[in-house]
Amino acid sequence: MGILTLTNDFKGDLGELVYEHYSKQKNFAYIKTEDIYHEYGLDSLLTFRFDRERLRVKIPLAVEEEIVKYAKPSGYINHDKHKPTFVFDYLSINKGYAHLEEPLSSHFQWAEIKTDTGNLSPNQEKRASESKIGVHIFRVLLVDSIGNPLDISKIQIQRQEIKKLKKSDQPPF
């Protein structure tokens, strides 16, 4: 098993991983839009990630309505309520501003991750033009960089048994 096909889901996951490491190197904290959907409450605070740190950041009243609106699912994959999609992938803030008691609207930006030749949807274009927060597209070129299929023959995965399972409880792999 040294070869993986670079599916659209796999590309998306790799694109997000690259963005998260890029953000860390460029000193930006981020939160996935889906996490805003699940976390946002009356205290107007969100938990942004920066490497292993978690930063509680106050959301300015001027953009609160937009953030709540954009953090609602814009659709569902195959109409499955357990697979929501969101307008943009992340909301980010420079780590230096994240520690302010009252960050400004201009300190935030939406981030949409596109891999290879992916384009914004009409809904994303509409929302980007309406946004009071900056919107940035981060394009991650995967196929040209790493090839397809992806050869992972040098990567090893080791399985270590922590607790002995009864024969009937063991996973089928």
Q: What is the pLDDT of residues 1-53, one digit of tens each?
A: 467 777 888 888 888 998 999 999 999 999 999 999 988 877 889 999 999 99
Structure tokens at 149: 């299929």
Task: Assign 109 to helix, strand or coil.
Answer: strand
Task: Note whether residue 23 is domain-resident.
Answer: yes
Q: Where are the alpha helices (DSSP H) in the chain?
A: 8-25, 33-39, 61-70, 95-98, 122-130, 143-146
In a domain, 110, yes or no: yes
Interacting residues of 127 by C-beta distance below 8 A, sequence separation 6+: 70, 87, 88, 135
Phi first, then psi, for residue 86 (nearest 5°) are: -125, 155
Residue 19 lies in a domain: yes
Burial class of residue 120 in the structure, from the number of CB atoms within 10 Å of its CB (0-12 exposed, 13-18 middle, 19+ buried): middle
Does residue 37 form part of some domain?
yes
Q: For residue 113, what are the domain limits?
A: 3-151
Quick: pLDDT tens for 102-150.
899 999 999 999 888 888 889 999 999 999 998 999 888 876 666 666 6
Number of domains into which the chain is organized: 1
In a domain, 156, yes or no: no
Residue 118 within a domain = yes
In a domain, 17, yes or no: yes
Domain membership flag for residue 59: yes
> Nearest-CA neighbor of 32 among 85, 102, 100?
85
CB 89, CB 36: distance < 8 Å: no
Hey, is 105 helix, strand or coil? helix
Report yes or no on whether pTM surpasses 0.85: no
